[in-house]
């Protein structure tokens, strides 16, 4: 009997080992990746992730300024509805049927009070923003989406999580048509996910899927233009009707690089300090429209080579607090700046 038990344990261990090898990306059979479909980045039109509490859409857009990725995130959250406090008064002097006046119910016969049913409603929150460099990487990763391997599920008695809490619908829209996929659970021993397409199951790198799943944090563009300071040739500023042009000298030699006003050859340290604040401006949120009445603060145009991007900074009091917003051509809309970076740049502009 003892020998049978030992053999049973060994069989279980062997099965677990086989399953780990089958699902692990480090297994011997993972020497080549498998494409789930054919596509190039120009073929893609839209990527959609839809789960119980989240929907993410990443789509390619274009306008007169060029092509860009736009991300829309919709979150669904259950919130409890406050119960109606209105009490209904019972009619006076009405005795329960079948009971004589003066009779007291026997001890322990009182019916238990039922708790009122918990009412919930779905609260929907929507955000939309321009995609960043990670969004560009995601777009390339889906052109096409690759898997570590296609899995042989013949006779497999393992729950892959396609109906579980982590399940999601993943849809890729190409010019040639729409590809609906199902995302299941995580492979045992790794975070990689099972993905079903056309009655086949694949093991896909979780790092790729997490980019779209957590798009609200990972894919939002927080820059006002695509340039690093070291690549900028000039910055134009408009303030209270006056304009100024600032040039970067020796930009290819960071140790010797400096900023000066157009027509001057000497470094202006205060100018360099203020421009540093301009390059540190960061997006906090994308907004449909700015709240309240805003006052134009200043406008900026940043140029690198033959490419330029412009934005206008606005300021105003919102709920008793000074806030800063930007209308940006690069971000394709109105955005809210972080308060600290917005106030630093706006408060010091008169000094330059």
Q: Domain limits of the chain?
A: 32-77+123-218, 229-351
What's residue 84's pLDDT?
A: 63
pLDDT band at 26 (very low <50, low <70, confident <90, very high): very low
Chain segment 31-78, per-residue pLDDT in tens: 588 999 999 999 999 999 999 999 999 999 999 999 999 999 999 988
Indicate whether 219 pLDDT > 80: yes
Task: Say which range, 78-92, 136-150, 250-264, 296-310, has the weakest mean pLDDT.
Answer: 78-92
Helix (H) / strand (E) element for 186: namely strand 177-186
What's residue 2's pLDDT?
A: 47
Which residues contact residue 148 at a Cβ distance below 8 angstroms, ignoring those fewer than 6 apart? 25, 30, 33, 34, 192, 202, 203, 204, 205
What's residue 352's pLDDT?
A: 80
Higher pLDDT, 229 or 87: 229
Q: b or e along 82-115 (b: 16 or more beta carbons within 10 Å of the residue's beta carbon)?
A: eeeeeeeeeeeeeeeeeeeeeeeeeeeeeeeeee
pLDDT band at 96 (very low <50, low <70, confident <90, very high): low
Report cis status (omega within 30 of 0) of the bond before 115.
no
What's residue 291's pLDDT?
A: 81
Give rounded-to-5 percent helix, strand, coil for the chain: 20, 40, 40
Are the CB atoms for 314 and 325 separated by under 8 Å?
A: yes
State mean pLDDT over 154-175.
87
Chain segment 272-318, per-residue pLDDT in tens: 999 999 999 999 999 988 787 899 999 999 999 999 999 999 999 99
């Amino acid at each position: 009997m003892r020998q049978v038990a030992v053999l049973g344990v060994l069989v279980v261990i062997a099965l677990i080992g086989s399953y780990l090898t089958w699902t692990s990306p480090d297994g011997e059979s993972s020497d080549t990746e498998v494409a789930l479909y054919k596509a190039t980045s120009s073929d893609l039109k839209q990527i959609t992730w839809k789960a119980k509490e989240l929907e993410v859409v990443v789509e390619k857009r274009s306008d007169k300024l060029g092509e860009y990725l736009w991300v829309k995130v919709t979150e669904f959250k259950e919130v409890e509805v406050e119960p109606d406090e209105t009490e209904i008064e019972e009619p006076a002097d009405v005795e329960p049927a079948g009971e004589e006046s003066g009779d007291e119910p026997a001890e322990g016969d009182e019916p238990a009070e039922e708790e009122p049913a918990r009412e919930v409603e779905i609260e929907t929150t929507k955000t939309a923003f321009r995609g960043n460099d990670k969004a560009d990487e995601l777009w390339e990763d889906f052109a096409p989406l690759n898997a570590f391997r296609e899995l042989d599920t013949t006779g497999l008695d393992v729950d892959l999580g396609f109906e579980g809490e982590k399940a999601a619908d993943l849809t890729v829209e190409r010019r040639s048509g729409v590809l609906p996929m199902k995302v299941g659970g995580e492979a045992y021993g790794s975070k990689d996910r099972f993905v079903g397409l056309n009655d086949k199951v694949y093991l896909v790198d979780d790092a790729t899927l997490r980019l779209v799943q957590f798009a609200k944090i990972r894919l939002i563009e927080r820059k006002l233009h695509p340039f690093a300071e070291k690549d900028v040739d000039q910055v134009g500023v408009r303030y209270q009707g006056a304009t100024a042009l600032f040039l970067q000298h020796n930009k290819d030699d960071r140790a010797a690089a400096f900023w000066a006003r157009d027509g001057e050859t000497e470094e202006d340290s205060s100018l360099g300090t203020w421009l540093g604040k301009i390059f540190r401006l960061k997006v906090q949120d994308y907004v449909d429209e700015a709240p309240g009445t805003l006052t134009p603060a200043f406008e900026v145009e940043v140029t690198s080579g033959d490419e330029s991007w412009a934005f206008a900074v606005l300021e105003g009091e919102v709920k008793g607090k000074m806030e800063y917003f930007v209308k940006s051509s690069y971000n394709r809309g109105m955005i809210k700046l972080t308060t600290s970076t917005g106030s630093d740049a706006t408060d010091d502009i008169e000094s330059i």
